Structures are given as C-alpha cells and as structure tokens.
Amino acid sequence: MIENVSNQTAGPVEEFERERVPDRATRGLGSFLGMFAGEHVAGTELLIGPLFVIHGVTAFDLLVGLLVGNLLAVLTWTYVTAPIAVRHRFTLYFQLEKIGGRSLVKIYNLANGVLWCAVAAAMIYVSATAVAVPLQVKMPALDDWLPPGPGLAVTVFLTGLLFTYVAARGYEALSRFANVAAPWMVVMFAVFGLAALPELGIHSLADFWTAANQSIWPGHAAPGRVQFTFWHVMFFSWFGNMAWHWGMGDLSVFRYAKKSSYGFASAAGMLFGHYMAWICAGLLYAVQVSRNGADTAITPGALASGVAGWAGIALVFIAGWTTANPILYRAGLAFQSLHSKWPRFRVTVAAGVVASMLGMFPGLCSKFLEMAALYGLALCPMGAIIFVDHYFMRPFKLRDFYAERAGLTSWWPPLAAWVLALVGCVAMNIGFGTQIFFLGLPGWIMAGVFYFFMSKAAQNHVIQEVQP
Amino acid sequence: MKPLLITVSMLALAAALGSSIACANGGITAETNKLILLGATVAWFVVAPFWMLKPRP
C-alpha cells in the first residue's frame, strides 16, 4: 500500500540524488523482487482488509477485483514508471526540479510531508493496538472518532514518540531490521489466513467459497459506509499506490534497474503484500465478528492476537513500526527541505509528534481507504506532468526540462496544472458526486492535458518575447 | 556455517506454515499453533540476522 517508501529503504550507499545513476550502480532483478515483496507487507494491510468487509464487498468482487487491480498496478509500474526511470535514471525530485524549478519541488515536498504524517499516524495506531492487547486498553468502536479513554490515547502517543525518536536518530538500523523481518512478515500473513480457517468452519475449498459468501464477505456495507462494488475494489487496489506508479514516486527506485521490464518485480509486492495480505486480514476480521457479532471494531492487534497469539501481536507491532519509521524520517526530510537551516532531528520530531497526535484519533484510521485514495490523488498529477514532459514535449517542438534549460527556479505551468487538476477533481466530486476512489485517473489525465497546453502557450510566449 | 543458519531460518518459517496448516485441518489445537508460531518467530529473529545482514561498510 502507500506504505511503500522503497526509495528510502532500498537506497544504496551512493544515492546519486543530483546525477544520473551510472551503469555500474544498476541492480539485478532479485533486488527489486525482494524489495517489493518486503515493503508492501505493512501494518496498514490489517486495516485495509477489514475495511473492505465493512464497505460490503462480495467475495467475487474482492477476489477478482483485487486480482485485476493489482495486475493493473504491476502493468502501470512496468509500462509507465519504469521506462521513464530507466531512460533518465533521475530521482523524482531531480526530474521535477528540471521541469518546474526548485520551488515546485519545495511545494511538492510540503504536500508529501503533510500526507506522510497522516499515513504514519495510521501506522502508529496499528502498532499501538498491538501494545494495547497485553495492557488490556479499552479500544474504540468502529465509528468512534475520538479515543474511548486516556489509555488508548496515551498508548498511541507513547508508541508514536518511540517511533519518532528512532526515526529522528536515522532510520538505518531499523531499516536493516525491517529487511530481516520482511520474509517472516510475508509468512505470518499467510499464517493468519490459515489459522483463521477452522474458526470460520472452512475445511475444504468448497467450504471456503460458501463461507466467503456467507460470513466473510457477505456484501452488506456497515451503516454510513459506501457500498463497495467490483469497481471500487479494482480501482482501490490499482490506485492504492498511485503516488508511486502513476505519480512516478518510484522513479527513484527504478532508476537503478538494468531494464524497464524489472517493473514486473512489483508483482511480488502486489501478490504477497496486497492480494494475499488483504484477503488474510479480511479473514481475521471475519473470525472476530463470528466470535462476537457486536464487535465490529478494527483493532489489528486484537485481530492478530486472536488467531496467532504473541506472534500475531509481534507482527502487528513490527509491521507498523518498520513502515512508519522511514515514512517519519522522510517526512522530516521533506519539511527540512523547505528551510535548509532547520535541524533534521527537530523537524523529524515535530513531524512525529504531529503524526502521533493524529494517530490518537481512531476515526482517521477507520477512514484509511479514503485517506489512501486522497494521498494518491494529491500527488499523482506530478506523474502526469513528468509523463507528458517525457513523451510529448519534443514531438510537438516544445522543450522538455524547461526550467533547467531556461535557468529558472520557478516555472508556472507544472504547478498550475497540478492545482487545476486537483480543482477539477474537487469539482467532479462535488458537482457529479464522483467518489474519491475513481478520481485518480481523471486527475492524472487532466494534469497532463493542462500541462501540455499551458506549456505550449507559455513556451511560445517566452520565445516570442525573446525573438520579437 | 551460513548454509546451516539459512536452513534453520527456513525451517522456522516452514514450521509456522506447517503448524497453521495442521491447525486448519484439525491436527493441532489453536493454542498449540500459537506456541509454535511464537517459537518460530523467536527462532527467525535469533538466527536470520546472522546470514541476512551484511557487515556495514
């Protein structure tokens, strides 16, 4: 999911942040397979699986919708992101700077930092629910926006402070730990699914299909929740990581790939991290509801502990921590980039404290699907701008990397296209009632079209001014 | 030494998966499965770092 911070944790010793990655530094397919498999198994998977159930998906819609959506995500990484990454071998930030100038990167970093705080908050909450199990802290009901008591608020805040301190000290040690934990986490998610089966009365494949339709994904949305269909599931699983494929965030990763076909390595993350983990998390939730029909709360720690005991508690805590840590670290870096004299330690602590406070509100986590969609939507227009700059500028006799070529620190068409695309998405949402899960692609296309025509007008205008 | 460490780590993961399959088939109880999962988890984190982590440059 959006836990993907692969450009940080997979980073080699030499970062090549402001230069093309040399051929000697490129990596083989195995590095990408391992990285995607590990980094798409995160604590938030334990929120997403149950949330699909609450939104009333049917078994067919979930199993097929997830398969199609995740395959589309893999194809997007392979045919949209990776070719541009391998062609230029620049980070997203350096490429944006060439297109729109340094000020564009700063604004992008600000948006990224804010969104990362919100995502980190969800991960802190997930880990805190694991701490809460042995402490027997009172947990919130499904639709509670506020913590049910000081116990949960304190647990979340202290968990967040711990994560923040480690992130502020630098994420390297925990990143190494995350690499060790990754294979175990993948297996543990499978274990969750297997261990849940007997409690659901499933002893054969035929049993599974019956239980899937009747008790796991019965297809009834909880009151106040949008009724999900096949299309919701498909688009969510396709766009869940939109900021990284359509949004080009993973340019920073695939610039190390020897070939663009390494984009297919993302299948490892989509199949194990998303397809399997979301299904298994749904099974866990079904077990909880089957034990007590009134217990509809999504508390990953309690869910995992119910079927896997202490090992489950450990998984929830570690899965949340290993993904929250690099996100907090990057949020700190993003905010620090706004003012180079701000010390990274203090900025990271400030970001972490904000994330910890946000995590205290369980309502935020029960709306995680919407939050994930918003994250992708907000950042994906930048990917469209990079895409258009790469494929359409030269054939139409326009200049790519215009800010760099013109020596500008700020070039308005990319920023204007980004803002206008988001305004267009808000208009679609308010005017036509288009749900946020479906706005990603229209937003991406609008940003690309706006950027192309505004670049055409602006570049011609500048050229006419220079050559009257 | 490294092949032995890898083997032990893989056995730990296999034990976790195997016991859960056994639990799903009714071969062992859920409580026994939880104990095996905990053992496999401890074994993984004790052994795997020795072969997975490269010395820092």
The confidence band for A156, taking pLDDT boundaries of 50, 70 and 90, is very high
- % of chain A beyond a pLDDT of 90: 57
**CA trace torsion A386, A391, A393, A396 (10° rounding):** -160
Average pLDDT of chain A is 89
Q: What is the predicted pLDDT for the residue at A352?
A: 95
Residues facing residue A120 across a β-bridge: none
Q: What is the CA radius of gyration of chain A?
A: 22
Return all residues near A311 (Cβ < 8 A) that are at least 6 apart: A188, A191, B16, B34, B37, B38, B40, B41
How far apart CA A302 and CA A285 sit, in angstroms, is 10
> B37 vs A311: CB contact, 8 Å cut-off?
yes
Suggest the residue from B13, B19, B20 to mutate for an interface test with chain A (most A CBs closer than 10 A): B20
If 0-12 CB within 10 Å is exposed, 13-18 middle and 19+ buried, where does residue A435 land?
Answer: middle
**Helix/strand/coil for A58:** strand
* Closest Cα in chain A, distance from residue B52 (Å): 6
Q: Which domain does B10 fall in, by range?
A: 2-51
Q: What is the predicted pLDDT for the residue at A460?
A: 76
Suggest the residue from B34, B36, B46, B54 to mutate for an interface test with chain A (most A CBs closer than 10 A): B34
pLDDT tens digits, residue range A386-419? 999 999 999 999 999 999 999 999 999 999 999 9
Of A264-273, A288-297, A351-360, where does the model show the most confidence? Answer: A351-360
Q: Is the pLDDT score of A12 beyond 50?
A: no
* Residue A16 vs residue A165, higher pLDDT: A165
Q: Is the pLDDT score of A177 beyond 90?
A: no
- Token readout for A456 is 């055409």
For A6-367, which CATH superfamily applies?
A: Hydantoin permease (1.10.4160.10)
A and B: number of Cβ contacts within 8 A = 71
Q: What is the predicted pLDDT for the residue at A173?
A: 72
Q: Is the pLDDT score of A3 beyond 80?
A: no
Q: Which residue of B has its CA nearest to A186?
A: B13
Q: What is the predicted pLDDT for the residue at A28?
A: 87
- Token readout for A319 is 């899965």
* Residue A380 vs residue A14, higher pLDDT: A380
Q: What is the mean pLDDT of residues A113-123?
A: 92
Suggest the residue from A191, A207, A276, A280 to mutate for an interface test with chain B (most B CBs closer than 10 A): A191
**Least confident interval from A38-47, A93-102, A153-162:** A38-47
> A195 vs B13: CB contact, 8 Å cut-off?
no
Residues of A in contact with B32 (CB under 8 A): none
pLDDT tens digits, residue range A364-389? 888 888 998 999 999 999 999 999 99
A195 touching B (Cβ < 8 Å)? yes
The confidence band for A436, taking pLDDT boundaries of 50, 70 and 90, is very high
> A194 vs B20: CB contact, 8 Å cut-off?
yes
How far apart CA A313 and CA A439 sit, in angstroms, is 36
Q: Is the pLDDT score of A107 beyond 80?
A: yes
Q: Is the pLDDT score of A142 beyond 90?
A: no
* Residue A8 vs residue A128, higher pLDDT: A128
- Token readout for A174 is 């925990």
Is-contact A267 A29, C-beta < 8 A?
Answer: no
Residue B36 lies in a domain: yes
Residue B18 lies in a domain: yes
> B52 vs A187: CB contact, 8 Å cut-off?
no
Ordered by start, the domain boundaries in chain A are 6-367
Residue B57 lies in a domain: no
Q: How far is CA A447 from CA A85, A404, A422, A454, B39, in A?
A: 20, 21, 8, 10, 52
ipTM: 0.94
Q: Is the pLDDT score of A152 beyond 90?
A: yes
Q: What is the predicted pLDDT for the residue at A387?
A: 97
Q: What is the mean pLDDT of residues B7-14?
A: 95
Q: What is the mean pLDDT of residues B23-49?
A: 93
Q: How far is CA B17 from CA A98, A179, A195, A443, in A?
A: 49, 20, 9, 43
Q: What is the predicted pLDDT for the residue at A14?
A: 55
Residues of B in contact with A183 (CB under 8 A): 13, 48
Q: Which of residues 291-310 of A touch B (CB under 8 A)?
A: 307-310
How many domains in chain B?
1
* Residue pointed to by tokens 């490129």: A26
CA angle A304, A305, A311 (to 5 degrees): 90
Q: What is the mean pLDDT of residues A301-328?
A: 90
Residue B56 lies in a domain: no
**Least confident interval from A12-16, A331-335, A351-355:** A12-16
Q: Which residue of A has its CA nearest to B54?
A: A176
The confidence band for A468, taking pLDDT boundaries of 50, 70 and 90, is very low
Residues of B in contact with A199 (CB under 8 A): 30
Q: What is the mean pLDDT of residues A65-86?
A: 96
Q: Is the pLDDT score of A39 beyond 80?
A: no
Q: What is the predicted pLDDT for the residue at A297?
A: 87
pLDDT tens digits, residue range A196-250? 888 888 888 888 899 999 889 988 898 888 999 999 999 999 998 899 999 998 9
Q: What is the predicted pLDDT for the residue at A179?
A: 82
The confidence band for A13, taking pLDDT boundaries of 50, 70 and 90, is very low
A12 touching B (Cβ < 8 Å)? no
